[in-house]
């Protein structure tokens, strides 16, 4: 029995093209930058530490309160300002004061716990707050006494459909009311994009 055999041509080894001096310099530079960013991030991780405040609350308005020396702005919601009025059945009413009263009722004298790591333009802690087993941020939106401000969109949709709280009539968005009444600096929303931007600012903040 005979066997035919045909030799396969061997592949020639082609050595890789040597990197140019500029490519080497670029690679080294990118490595140094990446290591520097990692070192910077490690050195500033304490800036993202969750802060917690608890105790008896002083309710300032429908979305802010004070716990001891810590001023809290409730994250992800925006309630009518204390002096703001809304309109229902053809008449103005003090919706800002009613939003504050709604938060007082939710707390019902219970100790309040708020936690978060971000701060707003006024140095207030952006907090997720609870009292008596209730999520206060969520409950204010569900009751219609605050609007979604980066979170709780589903809860707002239900409150709006049910004409709860301020949704029973007409009102200016709290942000628009503040701007028209020159109530300080414009406030960013508190959602995911805002959190990402705040994280970058904290990493590169010099102090």
What are the backbone angles phi and psi of residue 140, rounded to the nearest 5°?
-65, -40
pLDDT at 152 over 70: yes
Cβ-in-10-Å burial (0-12, 13-18, 19+) of 146 comes to: buried
Q: What is the pLDDT of residue 203?
A: 42
**Residue 53 near residue 119, CB atoms below 8 Å:** no
Structure tokens at 186: 């414009």
Structure tokens at 24: 């080497």
Give the least confident one: 22-26, 130-134, 173-177: 22-26
d(CA 66, CA 69): 7
Q: What is the pLDDT of residue 42?
A: 43
Average pLDDT, stretch 97-120?
Answer: 97
**Residue 131 near residue 137, CB atoms below 8 Å:** no
**Mind listing the pLDDT tens digit for each residue in 8-22?**
666 676 667 777 778
Q: What is the pTM of this model?
A: 0.70
**Mind listing the pLDDT tens digit for each residue in 168-194?**
999 999 999 999 988 666 677 876 655
125: which strand partners? 72, 119
């Amino acid at each position: 029995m005979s066997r035919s055999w045909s030799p396969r041509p061997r592949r020639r080894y082609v050595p890789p093209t040597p990197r140019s001096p500029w490519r080497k310099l670029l690679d080294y530079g990118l490595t140094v930058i990446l290591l520097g960013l990692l070192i910077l991030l490690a050195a500033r991780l304490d800036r993202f530490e969750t802060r917690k405040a608890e105790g008896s609350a002083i309710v300032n308005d429908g979305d802010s309160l004070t716990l001891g020396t810590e001023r809290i702005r409730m994250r992800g919601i925006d309630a009518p300002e204390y002096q703001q009025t809304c309109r229902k059945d053809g008449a103005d009413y003090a919706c800002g004061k009613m939003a504050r009263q709604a938060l007082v009722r939710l707390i019902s004298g219970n100790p309040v716990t708020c936690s978060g790591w971000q701060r707003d333009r006024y140095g207030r802690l952006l907090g997720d707050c609870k009292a008596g087993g209730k999520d206060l941020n969520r409950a204010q939106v569900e009751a219609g006494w605050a609007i979604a401000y980066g979170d709780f969109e589903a809860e707002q949709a239900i409150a709006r459909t049910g004409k709860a709280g301020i949704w029973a009539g007409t009102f200016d968005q709290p942000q628009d009311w503040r701007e028209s009444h020159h109530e300080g600096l414009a406030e960013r929303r508190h959602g995911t994009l805002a959190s990402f931007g705040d994280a970058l600012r904290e990493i590169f903040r010099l102090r």
